Amino acid sequence: MAFAVLTAAVLAALLHPLLRPPARPSATADADLAVYRDQLSELEAEQGRGLIVGAEAAAARTEIARRVLASADRVAAQETSPSDAHDARIRTVGLGLAMTLPLAALALYLLVGSPGVPDYPFSARATSTTDSAGLPQLIERVEARLRERPEDGEGWDVIAPVYLKEARYAEALDAFTRAISLMGESPRRLAGLAEASMARHDGIVTETARVSYEKLAKLEPSRPEPRFWLAVAQEQDGRLAEAIAAYDALLRDAPADASWRTAVAKRRDAARARLMSPAAAVVDGQRGPTADDVAAAGDMTPEARTQFINQMVDGLAERLRKDAADLAGWQRLIRAYMVLGRHSDASGALADARRAFATEPSSLAALDALAKSLRIES
């Protein structure tokens, strides 16, 4: 209804010239004659002052007289023309439009519109804009803003966990790095950076993750997450005894009802099994450690156990020096060196194995994959 009234008002303003009655010819003629009388008076005044004389004054009177006659002719023509009926028709059309168009618009709205739908005030629309927009659209908005203002630390801080949740790990790693650079370190940002880095590298505790967890452990000493992953890093580096000690310390400090106790205990037990029974990694020739060897290793002190395992690994290395064509043996030896923390020996064994299989591309590819999985620099 309000728009219908507004439409009528606009049409009335536009049609006003049509609805206004035209000026009568006699009124126009009276105005013209008044002008011409003024011109004659001014002409006589100038002639009296000697500014215009003789033929020029006569010519000016003649021109004014001609204009008076022409005006009289126009008035006579207008008074005899059938303009009244024409003007009446124009006014009728104008009034019809002013009344018909709003009514037609209202009828059309009632026919195809939804007059029963309640109003939707701006405050409600503004509140629901974020909720109604999809996550991809929100990400695009933030990304567009960050392209214009890459120094916006809050923007990187907001989008980094979203990237992580969406499994866009490389972008999450970059976003967390930028957020820390612009806004400083916080427990949440350090944890996100470490998680993104590990996810980006298939679960490996990278140097970035390790440093982040070390800082996080100092900021929040009671938080179990950094302690666990630092123990995993020690395990991945082959420092099994240190990893086991870290797991034990974490379990000692953990609440009895902690939901993650079981997972940590399983990880610790697996590390102990690797340390005490390296059969999967250090099989010597056609046989691995016997059941008696494993039992004896379980009764040894950590130092004696390590010496026992090193002897087995050295025996495997000696055999491979005599029979270098055993690819599986080289792979077991390299893994064993990494488990024992003998990283330089692992790199040397990898180089020896590559020389032994220099003419076999498939064997070299297997060795390269092993080096990558163990993060051996070569």
| Contact predicate 356/325, CB 8 Å | yes
Give 191: exposed, middle or buried? Use CB within 10 Å, 0-12, 13-18, 19+: buried
Query: Does one domain contain both 10 and 89?
Result: yes
Residue 287 forms beta bridges with which residues?
284
Q: Which tokens sit at 279? A: 């059969």
Please give the residue range of the domain that contains residue 204. Answer: 135-221
Query: Does one domain contain both 28 and 108?
Result: yes
| Contact predicate 47/57, CB 8 Å | yes
Q: Which tokens sit at 242? A: 């240190």
Query: Does one domain contain both 27 and 99?
Result: yes
Q: Which amino acid belongs to residue 53?
A: V
Q: Cβ of 363: how many Cβ atoms within 10 Å?
A: 18
User: What is the DSSP secondary structure assignment for residue 184, as one 8-state letter?
Assistant: -
Query: Does one domain contain both 100 and 42?
Result: yes
The SS3 call for residue 168 is coil
End-to-end CA, the chain: 82
Domain contains 264: no
Which residues 6+ apart lie within 8 Å of 62 measured at CB? none
Query: Does one domain contain both 42 and 107?
Result: yes
Domain contains 231: no
Q: Which amino acid belongs to residue 115?
A: P
Measured CA to CA, the distance from residue 322 to residue 336 in angstroms comes to 19
Q: Tell me the pLDDT tens digit for each residue of 243-277.
A: 888 999 999 999 989 999 999 999 998 888 776 65
Q: Cβ of 200: how many Cβ atoms within 10 Å?
A: 19
Query: Does one domain contain both 141 and 214?
Result: yes
User: What is the DSSP secondary structure assignment for residue 223, as one 8-state letter?
Assistant: -
Measured CA to CA, the distance from residue 17 to residue 143 in angstroms comes to 55
CATH number at residue 170: 1.25.40.10
Q: For residue 168, is it left (φ>0), alpha (ψ between -120 and 50) or beta?
A: beta
Which residues 6+ apart lie within 8 Å of 70 measured at CB? none
The SS3 call for residue 284 is strand
Domain contains 60: yes
Query: Does one domain contain both 163 and 105?
Result: no
Domain contains 246: no
Measured CA to CA, the distance from residue 115 to residue 330 in angstroms comes to 81
Query: Does one domain contain both 18 and 103?
Result: yes
Query: Does one domain contain both 370 and 294?
Result: yes
Counted domains in the chain: 3
Query: Does one domain contain both 9 and 104?
Result: yes
Domain contains 262: no
Measured CA to CA, the distance from residue 352 to residue 355 in angstroms comes to 5
Residue located via tokens 């029979």:
323
Among 52, 81, 112, which residue terminates a domain?
A: 112
Query: Does one domain contain both 102 and 142?
Result: no
> Residue 62's pLDDT is what?
79
Residue located via tokens 């957020």:
179
Alpha helices per DSSP H over 201-290: 207-219, 224-236, 240-253, 261-276
35-60 as b/e: b if 16+ CB within 10 A: eeeeeeeebeeebeeeebeeeeeeeb
Residue 284 forms beta bridges with which residues?
287
State which residues of the chain have pLDDT below 50: 82, 130, 132, 278-291, 294
Domain contains 152: yes
| Contact predicate 212/233, CB 8 Å | no
> Residue 283's pLDDT is what?
41
Query: Does one domain contain both 85 and 181?
Result: no
Domain contains 266: no
Q: Which of 366, 339, 337 is nearest to 353 (CA)?
A: 366
Measured CA to CA, the distance from residue 364 to residue 246 in angstroms comes to 36
Domain contains 185: yes
Measured CA to CA, the distance from residue 312 to residue 103 in angstroms comes to 100
